[in-house]
Chains A and B, each alone.
Chain A
Amino acid sequence: MAKNDLQGALDLLILKTLSQLDSMHGYGIMMHIRRVTDELLIVEEGSLYPALHRMEQNGWVRATWAITDYGRKAKWYALTRAGREQLASREKNWAQVVKGVDAVLRLA
C-alpha cells in the first residue's frame, strides 16, 4: 500500500527541487516551487522550515552557510546520499498514490 500524506508530498517537492538545483537556501526552494508550478503550489514558510530542519536532523540534507548572489548570508541545503535514496523511494510512492487517486476519481 502506498503510504503518503500532505507532509509526504511536501518532502517530495523539497527533495526534488534540491536534486534539480544541487544546492539552494530555503527562500530559493520556496520561490523555485512557486515558479515551476506557476504559483499553483505555494509552500508556506511555516511548513518549509520545519520540514527542512527535520530532513537535516534525519541526514537527508546537508546544510552550509554561504553568501547568496545578492550578498545575503543564507543556509544552503544540498541532498545527501540518504536524501537521494529517500527521493527515489518517494517518487515511486507518489506515482502509486496518483494512480490510486485517479482510479477512485474515474469510478466516481
Chain B
Amino acid sequence: MTQAIFFVLIIFPGTGGEICVSRAMKTIGEVTDFRPHAIARFIGRALAVPWMWIGVAMMAMGFFALLGMLSVANVSFVFPATALSYAVGALGGKIFLGEKVTPQRWIGVLIVCLGVALVFIGKR
C-alpha cells in the first residue's frame, strides 16, 4: 500500500508539476531574444506566474516521493516503473495544455517509455 501511494505521488505530482511549469511558460510567450539580459527578464517574468510556483512545489513533492519509494522498494523496480510518466505526460499535455498528440507522437512516446524501462532493467 505504501509503495502504491509513493508510486502515485511520483507519477502524478511529478508530471503534473512539469505540466504546470509548461503552462506558466506558455503564458509568458515564446522567447525570441537569447541575449543574457533578455533571458534574465524572461526568468523574472516566469517567477511572477503562480503556475510556476505550483509546478515547482509539485515537482518537489514528486522528488520526495521518489526518495521515499527508494527507501521501501528496489531501484530495479522503481525506475522502470517511473517510465510510465512519459505516457502520463503526453496525456496531461493533451488534456491540460490542449496539445495535439498525434498517433505518431503517441507511438514515439510509448517507444521512449519502453526504452527507459529497458535502460533501468539493464542497469541492475
User: Are A and B co-members of a single complex?
Assistant: no
* B positions within 8 Å CB-CB of A: none
